A and B are shown apart, each in its own frame.
Chain A
Amino acid sequence: MASRIRYQLIGQQQPAPFWTLAAVAAVVVLAGLAAAAYMATVGHHITGMNNQVVWGVPHVFAVTLILAASGALNVASVGSVFGRVDHKPLARLSGVLAVALLIGGLTVLVLDLGRPDRLIVAMTHYNLRSIFAWNILLYTGFLAIVAVYLWTLMEPRMRVHSTKAGTVAFAWRIILTTGTGSIFGFLLAREAYGGAIMAPLFIAASLAYGTAAFSLLFLAVMRSQGRRAPEQLLSGISGMMGVFVMAVLLLLAIHFLTLLYTPGRHDVVRFLLLEGGSIPATLWLGKVVIGGIVPAVLLFHGATRRRAGALAAASIMVLIGGFAHVFVMIVGAQSYPLQLFPGREVSGAVFDGRAASYTPTAPELLLGLGGIALVVLIAMIALRFLALTPKHLPDEPVDEPVAAEPSAEDESGGGEEPAPAASHG
């Protein structure tokens, strides 16, 4: 706004390491596609998913990526909608990552379908009573809106509209995450879900996981160029993510307390929090400790909240916590047996009354990892061909920190200079 921001392409000056990383991502994407093709050919019985646990690891990856997609737009929203000038130069990167995450998540979701070849049916036949059908519209709408938003950010003549586009995108992604949460909230059969609270829980989760994903990408770009992010900016992102992480924990606690207040649901809470084998372990260790308390300390503590390394570590932990959270939400909820005759002992041919077992197999894990790799690949290609990252951020410590701290940052990747043709005024 006030000062001119010049943007750059990444990966031009030192193409070898850049394209090596991209090639690694591409190989993982191909492995994921091969896994999906294998699943589609021989059938889902080679996965750990079955008639009791119908959604498994692919859905955990897909939902986590989709949540992160919506949240990755945070930094852009903070800049465009809430007027934080120091965040605005990062809006482009934020928007592109949101698109990449959504495409990655949807790809995993679609490739896990029993009939992925019928994707066109999902585009031509809508049951408007289904929250799933609504989500199809919300996802495609999100892609379109963020594309327009990016256009207003990158085309100088459109820049006057960027606040409007950013506001629409902000509203849309809140609705989108409400939709994603409602996929689970509207399932009255599954006792682990609590109806209305699923939407705010998923919104908070998306804000936390998306900010974490963005921070990782942003810090990776900075590090590859041997640059240091302004402390003010790091502190701002840390504070934002810390609040979201705590909000997820709070809403999760409220969710379980609500269930505990319903006498008929004591058993499901006991299952998820104490007795459900790997489920409570994943929840307590993965979500609460690794994904909640530890990163919250890193993000809030005065000694770490301005440090790039701490933010990166916190972001990784928050994302691990995200996968753990969604795993408990999806797999844990299905592992708890459906109560056909509450309070009575049952037996039957579909493991009636018994906790369902689920052990993911290699193909489904590869499919999920392929989705993450696809996000990385899309983001890298975008960074290479679109001017997304500022050459210099406002208040960025430029010369003196490098001189003052001789070996503080890796300088090997610092040779990448902006291409003149790619700079915008």
Chain B
Amino acid sequence: MSNEQRNDSPVNAGRRRLLGGAAALAGLTIAPGVFLVHASVPTRPEGTPASDQVRWGMLVDTNRCRVDCDACVTACREENGWEGHDRPETDAKWIRKMTVTERDGRQTSLPMMCQHCAEPPCAYVCPTGATFRRDDGIVLVDKHLCIGCRYCMMACPYQVRFFVHEPVASRSPNHPRGKGTVEGCNLCVHRIDQGVLPACVEACGERGQGALIFGDLNDPRSRISRAIAEYGAESVRADLELDTGVRYQGLS
């Protein structure tokens, strides 16, 4: 990655100022790894836009992830309110557990969600610009503009976007949902903006295997960058060269 020159920019330094109340509280509730949590999710002053100095990313250590654990899925569903209608073909699954079986029978378990590509095919094809990549690398759907054409779902190689097929009965205040629009993992943007870890990462640390690391890919001192530098990581369908924000360890 080409982040060396961004390393000691004033913006970056400013971001690492004393953390706001929100992050402090989150830090208290997450007993293990308090220090690391704070180092990974610097807050941004209220009223300032997301900065392209930051590239939010997630690292999945598939060596830790277990087939029988779905703490991340449950946490995401509760946080964002996408429980379905028991219709697997049309229900949303912002995050799902996948099992990959090698030819030799070895199995790998991993969560699959929006990969937050730097070159997102979904955003390229969206006719109205409803799907877009925020400056800090999060791929979002601006549902005020989504007309429900589903072209983005045709374009996404990961099958992680979902069309709301039915009227929504109850919804989370964290995430507006409406019939006829497309949705997907937003990296818990409402939490990130308050300096709190995404719900799946938090849950994986508390109730799961600690297989998820969240942080700034542009900051070489962040935990995620150090883990990638030390052990390496790869994108799913790296051949498509989409420069994903979600990376995996232990795939090959």
User: In the complex, are there CB atoms of A and B closer than 8 Å?
Assistant: yes
Chain A residues within CB distance 8 Å of chain B: 40, 42-45, 50-52, 54-55, 113-116, 118-119, 121-122, 125-127, 129-133, 136, 183, 186-190, 334, 338-352, 357
Chain A's nearest CB lies how many Å from the CB of B140? 14
**Alpha-carbon gap, A137 to B129, bound state (A):** 15
In the assembled complex, B211 has its CB within 8 A of some CB on chain A: no
In the assembled complex, B127 has its CB within 8 A of some CB on chain A: yes
Q: Which residues of B contact A113 (CB under 8 A)?
A: 147-149, 180
Which stretch from B34-42, B43-51, B160-168, B186-194 is at the chain A interface?
B160-168
**Alpha-carbon gap, A116 to B101, bound state (A):** 42
Q: Which residues of B contact A349 (CB under 8 A)?
A: 88, 93, 96-97
- A45 and B127: CB pair below 8 A? no
- A340 and B112: CB pair below 8 A? yes
**Alpha-carbon gap, A78 to B100, bound state (A):** 56
- B127 and A188: CB pair below 8 A? no
In the assembled complex, B230 has its CB within 8 A of some CB on chain A: no
Interface of A is mostly: loop
Q: A340-B237, A347-B101 are in contact. List 7 more A-B contacts (CB 8 A).
A: A45-B165, A113-B149, A125-B129, A127-B129, A130-B151, A132-B125, A133-B127
- A189 and B156: CB pair below 8 A? yes
Q: Which residues of A contact B100 (CB under 8 A)?
A: 341, 344-346
4 nearest A-B pairs in the assembled complex, by CB-CB distance? A114-B148, A114-B180, A189-B157, A127-B129
Chain B residues within CB distance 8 Å of chain A: 85, 87-93, 96-103, 112, 121, 123-130, 145-151, 153-159, 162-167, 179-182, 236-237, 240
Residue of B nearest to A127 (CB): B129
- B128 and A54: CB pair below 8 A? no
Q: Would you mind naming 9 contact pairs between A and B with Cβ atoms under 8 Å apart? A: A42-B166, A52-B89, A122-B127, A136-B127, A187-B121, A187-B155, A338-B159, A340-B158, A350-B88
Q: Which residues of B contact A119 (CB under 8 A)?
A: 147
- From B90, B93, B153, B158, contact of A45 by CB (8 A): B90
- From A43, A342, A350, A352, contact of B180 by CB (8 A): A43
- A114 and B127: CB pair below 8 A? no
- From B89, B98, B130, B148, contact of A348 by CB (8 A): B98
Chain A's nearest CB lies how many Å from the CB of B51? 23
Q: Which residues of A contact B97 (CB under 8 A)?
A: 348-349
- A43 and B165: CB pair below 8 A? yes
- From B88, B90, B240, contact of A188 by CB (8 A): B240
Q: Which residues of A contact B112 (CB under 8 A)?
A: 340, 348
A347-B99 in contact given A51-B153, A129-B124 (Cβ < 8 Å): yes
- A127 and B126: CB pair below 8 A? yes
- B155 and A118: CB pair below 8 A? no
- From B89, B148, B154, contact of A115 by CB (8 A): B148
- From A50, A130, A339, contact of B126 by CB (8 A): A130
Q: Which residues of A contact B88 (CB under 8 A)?
A: 349-351
**Alpha-carbon gap, A125 to B144, bound state (A):** 11
A341-B153 in contact given A130-B125, A350-B159 (Cβ < 8 Å): no
- A118 and B166: CB pair below 8 A? no
Q: Which residues of B contact A338 (CB under 8 A)?
A: 157-159
- From B91, B99, B162, contact of A346 by CB (8 A): B99
- B181 and A114: CB pair below 8 A? yes
Residue of B nearest to A358 (CB): B89
- From A115, A187, A344, A357, contact of B102 by CB (8 A): A344
- A187 and B165: CB pair below 8 A? no
Residue of B nearest to A330 (CB): B154
Q: Which residues of B contact A342 (CB under 8 A)?
A: 237
**Alpha-carbon gap, A18 to B120, bound state (A):** 52
**Alpha-carbon gap, A50 to B85, bound state (A):** 13
A44-B96 in contact given A115-B146, A130-B125 (Cβ < 8 Å): no
- From A44, A118, A190, contact of B90 by CB (8 A): A44
**Alpha-carbon gap, A136 to B97, bound state (A):** 38
